[in-house]
């Protein structure tokens, strides 16, 4: 591993030494949060943890209260800052879950550290300063594009900030600029693969493309294989959340046997999502992460709701940091459509109280041309509307526009007859996910 940005002293650190470093940083973080973030001052105080001195071993992590998405949302936008606003140099945000996005803030030190973590991830994936990488994520509040951008530049790779959309131009840039790597969502990479076959250009026109750095949504092994076949790339996955920093929390190396955590900056644990008790190493449960180095908005024991398992034996690549398996699912009912987080509760909030619309609805998720599609089936309260095309179309447009405003996503709205959707005695099953059917 002669890569210029392979940090051997950190990434191959022995477990005992790494545990010692994490404990030292965790103790500092607890004191820092208690003294600088009112939310944590109260939460830690209520738990009797008023300084890092209370944390004697890493197992004491279990006594620190969890942080949830609701906590971050309740403190929107800047209630969890640990520094004065004048020290914040950048703000990112998620797509929003109930109208308000999850905000992430960064000091200059945070930005520099983020670039370093991301540089490690892309280096592990086989990217070098010789590569030309096209970023087809949307630039903006989303953390993905700029997160990858600065990490790639840090290792000396050439970056093409193509952003999202305009697929024909994306392919033109790949052909004309000698692109060797593509950053995109898995579904968009699949779509581009289809367009490559239809483009009319010989395969040699895309022959320099060899890396697929994918993220922002799940990618099954079957999907990965199809992307690799259609684009001629080797696909690696990476993981991150706006609440923790963005991408760069973990990522696959070229051996693809788990996503290497940057454990000197992120302390992972796995809990039972029902009992909230820590699980022994190697067991499957909900991933919880503490940000050990974040300055602007540190986070203690963030419940990601992602289900995975951690492996602690060293990887064949020589790296010793814990490796997480690909996320197996979530403990909540969130959907990810084209990289956008969608909750049934968001859709329900739009429909409830709307004239002529009943409380029953169904979300149907399909995949067409390798792109996710969301159909919202809405039950009418007045069946006579089905006989009035003008009124029906007006209501359909109204719901469509409201959903687009709330979700930031195009949906298909289908109005159905009263009492035509299935009823449930227990918890309603609102989502019909057909993406992996057939």
Pair (246, 111) in one structural domain: yes
What is d(CA 269, CA 55) in angstroms, rounded to the nearest whole number? Answer: 16
Query: Per the domain annotation, does 438 fall within a domain?
Result: no
Other C-beta atoms lying within 10 Å of the C-beta of residue 177: 14
The reply to whether 361 and 312 lie within a common domain is: no
pLDDT of residue 431: 84
Shared-domain flag, residues 272 and 383:
no
Q: Pull the structure tokens for residue 178.
A: 């000698």
Structure tokens at 115: 């670039």
CA distance 63 to 54: 10
Considering the domain boundaries, does residue 3 fall inside one?
Answer: no
Query: Do residue 361 and residue 401 come from a single domain?
Result: yes
Q: What does the alpha-carbon distance between residue 199 and residue 274 come to, in Å, rounded to a whole number?
A: 50
- From CA 115, how far away is CA 118, in angstroms rounded? 5
Determine, yes or no, domain membership for 2: no
In a shared domain, residues 324 and 350: no
Residue at a domain's end among 267, 300, 332: 332
**CATH label of the domain that carries residue 373:** 3.30.300.30
Residue-level pLDDT at 425: 33
Q: Which tokens belong to 93?
A: 């945000």
Give this prediction's pTM. Answer: 0.79
Does residue 237 sit in the same domain as residue 302? yes
Q: Quick one: 314 and 348 in the same domain?
A: no
d(CA 251, CA 151): 13
Q: Which domain holds residue 402?
A: 340-433
> Among 332, 349, 370, where does a domain finish?
332
Shared domain for 234 and 383, answered yes or no, is no
105 and 178, same domain (yes or no): yes
pLDDT tens digits, one per residue of 375-419: 999 989 888 888 888 889 999 999 999 999 988 889 999 999 987
At 99, list the tokens: 């109208």
In a domain, 358, yes or no: yes
The answer to the question of residue 33 being in a domain is yes
Look at residue 401 in the predicted model and tell me its pLDDT.
94
**pLDDT for res 109:** 98
Asked whether residue 1 is domain-assigned, the answer is no
Tokens of 371: 């792109």
* Domain CATH code at residue 233: 3.40.50.12780
Same domain, 269 and 366: no
* Tens of each residue's pLDDT in the chain, 438 residues: 446 678 899 999 999 999 999 999 999 999 999 999 999 999 999 999 999 999 999 999 999 999 999 999 999 999 999 999 999 999 999 876 445 789 999 999 999 999 999 999 999 999 999 999 999 998 999 999 999 999 999 999 999 999 988 999 999 999 999 999 999 988 788 889 888 988 899 989 999 999 999 988 777 776 788 899 999 999 999 999 999 999 999 999 999 999 999 999 999 999 998 899 999 999 999 999 999 999 999 999 999 999 899 999 999 999 999 999 998 777 776 788 887 878 777 787 788 768 888 767 899 999 888 788 999 999 898 888 888 888 899 999 999 999 999 888 899 999 999 879 875 433 456 788 888 765
> What is the pLDDT at residue 430?
77
Q: Is residue 396 part of a domain?
A: yes
Structural domain count of the chain = 2
**Which among 302, 332, 362 is the end of a domain?**
332
> Nearest to residue 359, comparing CAs of 430, 431, 432?
430
Do residue 173 and residue 261 come from a single domain? yes
First and final C-alpha spacing in the chain? 41
3-state secondary structure the chain: CCCCCCCHHHHCCCHHHHHHHHHHHHHHHHHHHHHHCHHHHHHHHHCCCCCHHHCCCHHHHHHCCCECHHHHHHCCCCCCCCCCHHHEEEEEECCCCCCCCCEEEEEHHHHHHHHHHHHHHHHHCCCCCCCEEEECCCCCCCHHHHHHHHHHHHCCCEEECCCCCCHHHHHHHHHHCCCCEEEECHHHHHHHHHHHHHCCCCHHHHCCCCEEEECCCCCCHHHHHHHHHHHCCEEEEEEEECCCCEEEEEEECCCCCCEEECCCCEEEEEECCCCCCECCCCCCEEEEEEECCCCCCCCCCEEEEEEECEECCCCCCCCCCCEECCCCEECCCCEEECCEEECHHHHHHHHCCCCCEEEEEEEEEEEECCEEEEEEEEEECCHHHHHCHHHHHHHHHHHHHHHHHHHCCCCEEEEECCCCCCCCCCCCCCEEECCCCC
- CA pair distance 220, 401, nearest whole angstrom: 32
Q: For residue 346, what pLDDT is reported? A: 79
Q: Are residues 316 and 200 both part of a single domain?
A: yes
């Amino acid at each position: 591993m002669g890569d210029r940005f392979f940090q051997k002293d950190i990434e191959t650190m022995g477990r005992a030494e790494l545990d010692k470093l994490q404990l030292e940083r965790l103790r500092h973080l607890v004191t820092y949060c208690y003294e600088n973030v009112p939310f944590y001052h109260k939460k830690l105080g209520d738990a009797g943890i008023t300084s890092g001195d209370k944390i004697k071993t890493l197992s004491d992590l279990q006594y620190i209260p969890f942080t949830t998405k609701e906590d971050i949302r309740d403190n929107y936008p800047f209630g969890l800052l640990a520094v004065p606003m004048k020290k914040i140099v950048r703000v990112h945000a998620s797509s929003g879950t109930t109208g308000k996005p999850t905000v992430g803030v960064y000091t200059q030190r945070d930005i520099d550290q983020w670039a370093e973590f991301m540089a490690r991830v892309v280096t592990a994936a086989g990217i070098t300063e010789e590569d030309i990488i096209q970023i087809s994520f949307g630039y903006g509040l989303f953390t993905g594009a700029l997160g990858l951008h600065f990490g790639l530049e840090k290792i000396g790779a050439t970056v093409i900030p193509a952003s999202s959309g305009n697929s024909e131009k994306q392919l033109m840039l790949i052909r004309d600029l000698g692109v060797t790597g593509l950053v995109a969502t898995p579904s968009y990479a699949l779509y581009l693969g289809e367009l490559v076959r239809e483009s009319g250009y010989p395969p040699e026109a895309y022959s320099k493309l060899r890396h697929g750095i994918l993220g922002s949504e799940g990618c099954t092994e079957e999907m990965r294989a199809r992307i690799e076949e259609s684009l001629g790339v080797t696909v690696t996955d990476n993981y991150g959340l706006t609440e923790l920093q963005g991408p760069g929390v973990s990522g696959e190396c070229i051996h693809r046997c788990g996503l290497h955590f940057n454990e000197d900056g992120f302390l992972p644990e796995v809990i039972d999502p029902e009992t909230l008790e820590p699980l022994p190493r190697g067991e499957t449960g909900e991933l919880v992460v503490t940000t050990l180095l974040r300055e602007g908005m540190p986070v203690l024991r963030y419940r990601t709701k992602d289900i995975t398992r951690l492996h602690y034996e060293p990887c064949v690549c020589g790296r010793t940091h814990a490796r997480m398996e690909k996320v197996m699912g979530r403990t909540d009912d969130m959907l990810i459509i084209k990289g956008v987080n969608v909750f049934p509760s968001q859709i329900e909030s739009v429909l409830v109280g709307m004239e002529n619309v009943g409380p029953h609805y169904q979300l149907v998720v399909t995949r067409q041309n390798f792109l996710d599609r969301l159909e919202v089936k809405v039950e009418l309260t007045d069946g006579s509307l089905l006989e009035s095309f003008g009124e029906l179309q007006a209501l359909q447009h109204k719901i469509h526009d409201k959903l687009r405003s709330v979700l930031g996503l195009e949906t298909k709205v289908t109005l159905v007859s009263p009492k035509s959707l299935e009823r449930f005695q227990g918890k309603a099953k609102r989502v019909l996910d057909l993406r992996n059917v057939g």
